[in-house]
Amino acid sequence: MSPSAPAAAARRTLRAVVIGPGARRALHDGFDATVELVFGPGGYVRCGDRHVLLAPARSPMGPLSVLVAGLVRGDLAVGERAVVSGGALGVGSLRIELGGARVTAPLLPGADPASGWPEALAAALAVVAPAPNVLAPGLDALTAGDTEAAVAHLAGRGDGLTPAGDDVLAGFAGWRWAVGAPVTLPAGRCAPLGRDYLRCAERGELPRPAAAVLSAIRGGDAAATRRRAGGLARWGASSGAALLWGMAAAAAKTPT
């Protein structure tokens, strides 16, 4: 048996079932990445300044996510090469077929919020943890509409795989997209992964739990907002709450 035969025999073909729009933009032929971080059965691969999150099929969905049927713990290892060719992502001993996967859609922009949205926002904020003091100056600047000062105070700051300050900026951008007033924020000081999520948010592409909460807030449904905020609070170590803090700062400029 040749040295390459065991690796060939161990190769498995899996299928992507859902792809986030940010991941879809990245995953074209020529994408040549490295597995940067692994947790449980999933992990992030990085190609330059682009990140893609590989996760099992029933995972919460985000704009950089690729949900893969059959992905299990041990399938990914830090340092493995990940390459797209012929409509599939090859990573380690896996070939992940991308064709046929559903691509999630961004938020629809521009609709006026329903009456009662401030109460729905308050209901959501009551579910998540309060913002730490270190982010207060940046949140105050966002609330006042001073985005330059806000970015200076928030970008790259705070705890979490994506720093909480970056997530605040993404929540702010997501709300602005939803009300038909999109922004492009300077992101040079953001962490690389936080910058990726921010650029998605500027297009109305948010993690599914955040999009669900934002839609309920804008619909003025306090009960639905309260229920959905629990799911948002579980998105990352601090990301879900920070996204909501950013939405609240953007909402301060929304007419009631």
What's the pLDDT at 11?
78
Give the H or E element holding residue 46: strand 42-47
| Residue bearing tokens 């994506």 | 162
**33 - beta bridge partners?**
82
What's the pLDDT at 1?
36
Token pair, residue 37, equals 């971080």
Q: What share of the chain is helix, strand, coil (3-state, %, to 5)?
A: 40, 20, 40
How far is the C-alpha of 96 from the C-alpha of 102, rounded, in Å? 14
Task: Kindly state the greatest CA–CA separation across the chain.
Answer: 72
- Asked if residues 194 and 163 have their Cβ atoms less than 8 Å apart, the reply is yes
Give phi and psi for 93, each to the nearest 5: -90, 10
**103 - beta bridge partners?**
19
pLDDT (tens digit, 0 to 9) for every residue of the chain, 256 residues total? Answer: 334 433 444 679 999 999 999 999 999 998 999 999 999 999 999 998 899 999 999 999 999 999 999 999 999 999 999 999 999 999 999 999 999 999 999 988 877 788 899 999 999 999 999 999 999 999 999 999 999 999 999 999 987 789 999 999 999 999 999 999 999 999 889 999 999 999 999 999 999 999 999 999 999 999 999 999 999 999 988 899 999 999 999 999 877 6
What's the pLDDT at 244?
97
Domain range annotation of the chain = 5-103, 117-251
Nearest one of 160, 162, 165 to 131, comparing CA atoms: 165
Half-sphere exposure of 254 toward its Cβ, with a 13 Å CA cutoff?
26
First-to-last C-alpha distance (Å) of the chain: 72
pTM passes above 0.85: yes
What's the pLDDT at 149?
96
Nearest one of 185, 156, 165, 176 to 238, comparing CA atoms: 165
What's the pLDDT at 107?
87
